[in-house]
Amino acid sequence: MTAYWIRIERMNDEADEREDLKTIALTEQEGALQTGTRFYSMTDYDGLDELVVQLPGESVFALAANAWMKYDYVMKMREKEHHGTDRKK
């Protein structure tokens, strides 16, 4: 089983410190299919639990890019649902 941590940090030039903006974990699920496709569980500390797919021949960098795009989409949908709920009150 393979696992990756993907992190985005902001560098504070004045204090020469890093601020962790977001970290997600990708954990491989049950190994690759015969086709070479791999499935990863994408999780974070805020309850995220989504599936990310790595197609045969895709690099780990493509996997990370796909994970961030899916994360961004999921967060936008959560925000949209949240704002829609607020309007109904």
Tens-digit pLDDT profile for residues 48-62: 999 999 999 999 999
pLDDT averaged over every residue in the chain? 88
pLDDT of residue 86: 57
pTM of whole model > 0.85? no
pLDDT of residue 23: 93
pLDDT of residue 63: 95
Q: Burial, 68: exposed, middle or buried (Cβ in 10 Å; 0-12, 13-18, 19+)?
A: middle
- Rounded CA-CA distance 20/37 in Å is 31
Q: Who has greater pLDDT, 84 or 86?
A: 84
Strands (DSSP E) contained in the chain are 3-12, 17-28, 38-43, 49-54
- Rounded CA-CA distance 43/60 in Å is 17
Mean pLDDT along residues 11-20: 83
- Rounded CA-CA distance 85/48 in Å is 20
